[in-house]
Structure 1
């Protein structure tokens, strides 16, 4: 996963207003396929797409899948330590909204030691749990 995401790492200014490729991510879907994405940030604030969400969009667009097994995100080097490579709140939320079972997906915290953390640990009291359970029962 790291090697596939690393190919996308190429920080650059796309324009006077947009910066891209400075954060990259790889996602392993339920069927084992790997999907990647990179971050794009715009100065207006509304236009900001995290690498994790781009990889999730790619997963859904190209395979129709919504369930994730593993996620790895980083800047200039593989995730290291507790804070490196952790997803923002919007990415955590989107993972759960895409599929509530993604609470079991693992984020790589430390590439060297292979330490991971489950999404459920990152967002333990998700507001949508009851709605998601009811939706899945329909």
Structure 2
């Protein structure tokens, strides 16, 4: 059994920051669960152009607001507390923070190793 508290991750190597996001990686590839599990904070007003071409991601909003735009269709969907979106087709998208910070709970398959940041096309490389 694993017990992980987000307050114990803040300020450690499992808290990774990039432009417009902070990711607290609660479960990683080395934890052997077959997926990784993160708490991600998107600041109000942030705009991220993302494409997880190597991963599937499910995201559940537990606080704040924002939006996601599917770049293939042009559709924009509002994100608020209680909204889940799943990038089941490696969807290219733009994630925008709204009027307040968003707190998102995310799962990646395959799992990340922990220090990944977005590359030039907005994706993470596959873990070795």
The alignment's TM-score, normalised by the length of structure 1, stands at: 0.31
Identify the structure with bigger relative contact order (alpha carbons < 8 Å, sequence gap 6+): 2
State which structure, 1 or 2, has the greater radius of gyration over its C-alpha atoms. Answer: 1
